[in-house]
């Protein structure tokens, strides 16, 4: 069980989050291990912490690249806190939850205790007010151990919480965000449908205003919804941002907040037996004439297309960062294994083809990591029109992670093909990154459209 100690022991979770940000003496204890949570780290302390805290430390990177991936003390501190959390809480449950296709809801709620469910939300609504770099960092670290758990985190913290935070009114933020950030309510976002995914503006779920009651009536189905159900398919999750057609034009789309207990809202089916991301619950959601008050409309009526595109940009950054966690883990596993394992009297690392697998993977991973952080370090979460590199980072990193996971299995031979070393799970999980949040082909389409509109690259 995770608890915060020291100067923060008796405070509310919101106060704890504020302490995490400002205190120079804060600590966090996870399973009796204590990590310094000060955001005011001295450089030498920071380096010592990194070199001793985790096998996942990128100790061979030059210090300038470390700064690039952790541009401020806040990012350094956040990463070290995440590494402890992942090592102690996420890693031990990952294989079991994957095998049993169970969702670890209590663990996601623990991220609420740490304030991470509202990473990008302004402080006045209970969030941290952090940036796109922090978003990339958290997704990278969680996926080092458990991409499926991270996918559920992404659906809640980015697709729901960040979307309301960027596009909602202050009344809506007061109403919906505190319980979503604390983890009391967990949900996601409904965009895809049984008959349309890539062609998202072809959606048929619709909402019609009843002028007499002033209620909107939502009818249709949403497919593949992460966190769609949290209890194995009996009832829907707590809160969803759902896109629906509200006018005759192709872009006449409006976003609605749909709450668990609304009349006519149910789970169509829990989707089981997925290739990967098995510990993240996916389901079909059904809306049967669900009455929704206007106060639950996020943004303008017929004005959700821009919000949707902007939210897709941060979603794609999160998914690209997840690919980095997968790739880094697979490289660590294959290099350690190849060092230990002997064939023909020498370690596998002595063979050229194995060297090629490890070295090429490292170079590709670093290329992807530089692209992701170059994009994230310059991304203003309130801006839009960043699609080229949102698509580009995800396109590159998803394929990179899958290729590296594949090489990792190959380097481990038969041991790579079974669950123990984790790389087969990461390979299966990585495939989702080529489909969810936009398929590779949709990225090709979007990127060429954007490149054709741009002047020549400089
Ligand atoms: C585990 C999981 C979790 C998900 N979570 C969510 C969620 O929380 N919320 C949500 O809204 N959605 C979610 N999705 C849905 C996901 O975003 C869609 O699956 C994805 O956008 C692709 O849509 P589709 O499956 O309908 O495929 P389609 O769009 O039908 O595509 C099928 C194939 O045709 C190709 N294709 C389509 N159009 C073109 C074109 N113009 N040019 C070239 N090729 C084309 C595609 O690239 C793909 O290869 C999730 C999916 C999965 C698997």
Strands (E), 235-301: 239-245, 253-259, 265-270, 282-293, 297-298
For residue 252, with 0-12 CB atoms within 10 Å meaning exposed, 13-18 middle and 19 or more buried, which class applies?
middle
Q: Are 373 and 135 in contact (CB under 8 A)?
A: no
User: Which of 157, 192, 316, 446 to mutate to test ligand 1, by most ligand atoms within 8 A of the CB atom?
Assistant: 192
Q: Are 86 and 57 in contact (CB under 8 A)?
A: no
pLDDT in tens, 301-337: 999 999 999 999 999 999 999 999 999 999 999 999 9
Ligand 1 in contact with 240 (CB < 6 A)?
Answer: no
Ligand 1 in contact with 190 (CB < 6 A)?
Answer: yes
- Model pLDDT, residue 120: 96
| Cα 193 to middle of ligand 1, angstroms | 9
Ligand 1 in contact with 187 (CB < 6 A)?
Answer: no
Integer-rounded Cα radius of gyration of the chain: 22
Ligand 1 in contact with 282 (CB < 6 A)?
Answer: yes
Sorting pLDDT into bands at 50, 70 and 90, what band is 61? Answer: low
Most confident of 20-24, 61-65, 163-167: 163-167
Ligand 1 in contact with 277 (CB < 6 A)?
Answer: yes
CATH class, range 308-453? mainly alpha
Q: Which fold has domain 187-302?
A: Butyryl-CoA Dehydrogenase, subunit A; domain 2 (2.40.110)
| Cα 432 to middle of ligand 1, angstroms | 10
- Model pLDDT, residue 106: 98
Rounded CA-CA distance 79/401 in Å is: 21
Q: Which amino acid residue places its CA nearest to atom 16 of ligand 1? A: 436
Ligand 1 in contact with 435 (CB < 6 A)?
Answer: yes
Q: Are 254 and 303 in contact (CB under 8 A)?
A: yes
Ligand 1 in contact with 229 (CB < 6 A)?
Answer: no
| Cα 224 to middle of ligand 1, angstroms | 9
Ligand 1 in contact with 226 (CB < 6 A)?
Answer: yes
Whether the pLDDT of residue 237 is over 70: the answer is yes
Ligand 1 in contact with 433 (CB < 6 A)?
Answer: no
- Model pLDDT, residue 56: 39
Superfamily of chain region 2-182: Acyl-CoA dehydrogenase/oxidase, N-terminal domain (1.10.540.10)
For residue 228, the ligand 1 atom closest to its alpha carbon is 8
- Model pLDDT, residue 66: 77
Q: Using DSSP, how many helices (H) and how many strands (E) does the chain show?
A: 15, 13
Q: Which amino acid residue places its CA nearest to atom 24 of ligand 1? A: 197
Domain boundaries, the chain: 2-182, 187-302, 308-453
Q: Convert 124-186 into a string of H (helix), E (strand) and C (coil).
A: HHCCCCCCHHHHHHHHHHHHHHCHHHHHHHHHHHHHHHHHHHHHCCHHHHHHHHHHHHHCCCC
Rounded CA-CA distance 411/409 in Å is: 6
pLDDT in tens, 340-377: 999 999 999 999 999 999 999 999 999 999 999 999 99
User: Which of 197, 283, 312, 434 to mutate to test ligand 1, by most ligand atoms within 8 A of the CB atom?
Assistant: 197
Sorting pLDDT into bands at 50, 70 and 90, what band is 439? Answer: very high
Query: Which 8-state DSSP code applies to residue 31?
Result: T
User: Which of 188, 198, 316 to mutate to test ligand 1, by most ligand atoms within 8 A of the CB atom?
Assistant: 198
Q: Which of 315, 364, 424, 434 is catalytic?
A: 315
| Cα 189 to middle of ligand 1, angstroms | 14
H or E element at residue 346: strand 346-347
| Cα 190 to middle of ligand 1, angstroms | 13
Q: Angle at CA 168, nearest 5°, toward 117 and 200?
A: 85
For residue 437, the ligand 1 atom closest to its alpha carbon is 17
pLDDT in tens, 145-202: 999 999 999 999 999 999 999 999 999 999 999 999 999 999 999 999 999 999 999 9
Annotated catalytic residue 315: yes
Q: Which amino acid residue places its CA nearest to atom 31 of ligand 1? A: 198
Beta-bridge partner residues of 193:
196
Rounded CA-CA distance 255/296 in Å is: 8
Nearest-CA neighbor of 290 among 269, 263, 325, 266? 263
Q: 41 or 312, which is more confident?
A: 312
Sorting pLDDT into bands at 50, 70 and 90, what band is 62? Answer: low
Range 94-108 average pLDDT? 96
User: Cα 64 to the chain's mean position, in Å?
Assistant: 26
pLDDT in tens, 256-281: 999 999 999 999 999 999 999 999 99
| Cα 398 to middle of ligand 1, angstroms | 15
Rounded CA-CA distance 194/448 in Å is: 27
Q: Which amino acid residue places its CA nearest to atom 45 of ligand 1? A: 441
Instruction: Find the range with the poorest average confidence among 63-67, 119-123, 191-195, 244-248.
Output: 63-67
Average confidence score pLDDT of the chain: 89
User: Which of 436, 437, 444 to mutate to test ligand 1, by most ligand atoms within 8 A of the CB atom?
Assistant: 436
Q: What percent of the chain has pLDDT over 90?
A: 85
CA terminus-to-terminus distance, the chain: 52
Torsion region of 342: left, alpha or beta (phi above 0 gives left; psi -120 to 50 gives alpha): beta
Q: Which amino acid residue places its CA nearest to atom 26 of ligand 1? A: 197
CA trace torsion 125, 279, 255, 127 (10° rounding) = 10
Whole-prediction pTM: 0.90
- Model pLDDT, residue 119: 97
Ligand 1 in contact with 449 (CB < 6 A)?
Answer: no
Sorting pLDDT into bands at 50, 70 and 90, what band is 24? Answer: very low
Rounded CA-CA distance 448/83 in Å is: 37
């Amino acid at each position: 069980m995770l608890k915060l100690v020291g100067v923060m022991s008796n405070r509310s979770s919101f106060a704890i989050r504020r302490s995490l940000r400002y205190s120079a003496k804060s600590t966090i204890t996870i399973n009796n291990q204590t990590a310094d949570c000060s955001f005011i780290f001295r450089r030498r302390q920071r380096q010592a912490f990194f070199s001793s805290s985790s096998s996942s430390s990128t100790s061979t990177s030059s210090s300038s690249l470390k700064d690039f991936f952790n541009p401020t003390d806040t990012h350094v501190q956040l990463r070290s806190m995440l590494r402890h959390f992942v090592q102690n809480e996420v890693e031990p449950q990952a294989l079991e939850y994957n095998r049993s296709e169970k969702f670890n809801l209590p663990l996601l709620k623990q991220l609420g205790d740490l304030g991470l469910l509202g990473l990008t939300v302004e402080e006045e609504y209970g969030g941290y007010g952090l940036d796109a770099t922090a978003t990339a960092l958290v997704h990278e670290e969680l996926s080092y151990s458990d991409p499926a758990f991270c996918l559920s985190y992404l659906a809640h913290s980015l697709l729901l919480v960040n979307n309301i935070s960027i596009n909602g009114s202050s009344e809506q933020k007061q109403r919906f965000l505190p319980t979503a950030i604390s983890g009391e309510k967990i949900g996601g976002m409904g965009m895809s449908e049984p008959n349309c995914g890539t062609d998202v503006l072809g959606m048929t779920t619709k909402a019609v205003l009843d002028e007499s009651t002033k209620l909107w009536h939502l009818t249709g189905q949403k497919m593949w919804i992460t966190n769609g159900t949290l209890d194995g398919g009996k009832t829907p999750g707590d809160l969803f941002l759902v896109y629906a057609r509200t006018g005759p034009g192709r872009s006449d789309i409006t976003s609605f907040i749909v709450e668990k207990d609304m009349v006519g809202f149910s789970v169509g089916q829990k989707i089981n037996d997925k290739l990967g991301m098995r510990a993240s619950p996916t389901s079909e959601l059904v809306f049967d004439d669900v009455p929704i008050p206007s106060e639950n409309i996020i943004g303008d009526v017929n004005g959700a297309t821009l919000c949707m595109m902007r939210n897709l940009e941060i979603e794609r950054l999160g998914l690209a960062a997840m690919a980095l966690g997968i790739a880094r883990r697979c490289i660590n596993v294959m290099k350690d294994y190849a060092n230990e394992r002997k064939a023909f009297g020498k370690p596998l690392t002595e063979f050229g083809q194995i060297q090629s697998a490890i070295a090429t993977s490292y170079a590709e991973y670093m290329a992807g990591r530089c692209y992701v952080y170059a994009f994230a370090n310059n991304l203003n979460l309130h801006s839009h029109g960043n699609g080229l590199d949102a698509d580009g980072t995800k396109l590159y990193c998803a394929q990179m992670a899958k290729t590296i996971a594949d090489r990792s299995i190959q380097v481990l031979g038969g041991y790579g093909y079974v669950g123990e070393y984790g790389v087969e799970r990461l390979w299966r999980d990585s495939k989702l990154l080529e489909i969810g949040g936009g398929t590779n082909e949709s990225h090709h389409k979007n990127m060429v459209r954007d490149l054709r509109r741009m002047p020549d690259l400089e």
